[in-house]
């Protein structure tokens, strides 16, 4: 499933590059962002991760206290399910905020550098202008 998603993204990037290079006579600047590096090196991303970890620990402590008092197996199973769903909801919300923050940083850098298109490094074999470090700085 992940391979399928990666393949679709690669095909989309290739199609986009073909359209850009084939349908326009003006030269466009293409930026490249190494998202893995952004996630690994950005202090902002690390803060999000610490915040997520803290919220999940708090949730775990809360539910562990609740679960100790429950003797009924069915109710215990239900409470565990609720805890799991709530942890997933928290994680999804945090990831959504993080994606938006990163997208805004990429957009800001692209505008400053007058870059027309930005793609992920994983989708490009060669060429383009690497703006990863500027994105990481923008997130600071």
Q: And the tokens for 98?
A: 């993080």
pLDDT tens digits for range 58-107: 888 887 777 777 777 777 788 778 888 888 888 888 889 888 988 899 89
Question: CA geometry: angle at 15 spanning 132 and 40, to 5°?
Answer: 20
Of 122, 131, 128, 86, nearest in space to 2 by CA: 122
Residues 18, 19, 21, 27, CA torsion sign: negative
Pairing of strands 117-120, 129-130: unpaired
Under the banding of pLDDT at 50, 70 and 90, the label for residue 22 is low
Under the banding of pLDDT at 50, 70 and 90, the label for residue 20 is low
Q: How far is residue 125's CA from residue 49's CA, in Å, rounded to a whole number? A: 30
- Contacts of 105 by beta carbon, 8 Å cutoff, 6+ apart: 135, 138, 139
- pLDDT at position 11: 66
130: containing domain: 2-139
Length of the chain: 140
- pLDDT at position 140: 81
pLDDT tens digits for range 110-119: 888 888 888 7
Q: And the tokens for 114?
A: 């007058």
What's the whole-number mean pLDDT along residues 29-38?
A: 86
Computed over every residue of the chain, the mean pLDDT equals 79
CATH number at residue 135: 3.30.910.20
Q: How far is residue 23's CA from residue 19's CA, in Å, rounded to a whole number? A: 6
Which parts of 1-140 fold into alpha helices (H)?
2-22, 35-41, 43-68, 73-112, 132-139
- pLDDT at position 82: 83
Q: How many domains does the chain have?
A: 1
- pLDDT at position 17: 65
Check residue 75 and report its DSSP letter.
H
Looking at per-residue confidence, does 132 or 70 come out higher? 132
Percent of the chain with pLDDT over 70: 81
Edge-to-edge strand order for the sheet containing 30-33?
117-120, 30-33, 129-130
């Amino acid at each position: 499933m992940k391979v399928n998603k990666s393949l679709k993204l690669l095909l989309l990037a290739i199609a986009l590059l073909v359209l850009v290079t084939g349908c326009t006579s003006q030269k466009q600047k293409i930026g490249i962002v190494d998202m893995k590096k952004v996630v690994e090196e950005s202090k902002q991303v690390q803060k999000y991760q610490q915040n997520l970890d803290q919220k999940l620990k708090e949730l775990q402590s809360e539910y562990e206290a609740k679960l100790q008092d429950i003797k009924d197996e069915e109710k215990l199973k239900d409470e565990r399910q609720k805890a799991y769903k709530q942890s997933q909801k928290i994680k999804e919300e945090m990831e959504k905020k993080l994606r938006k923050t990163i997208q805004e940083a990429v957009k800001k850098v692209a505008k400053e550098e007058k870059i027309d298109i930005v793609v992920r490094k994983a989708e490009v074999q060669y060429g383009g202008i690497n703006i990863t470090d500027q994105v990481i700085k923008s997130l600071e």
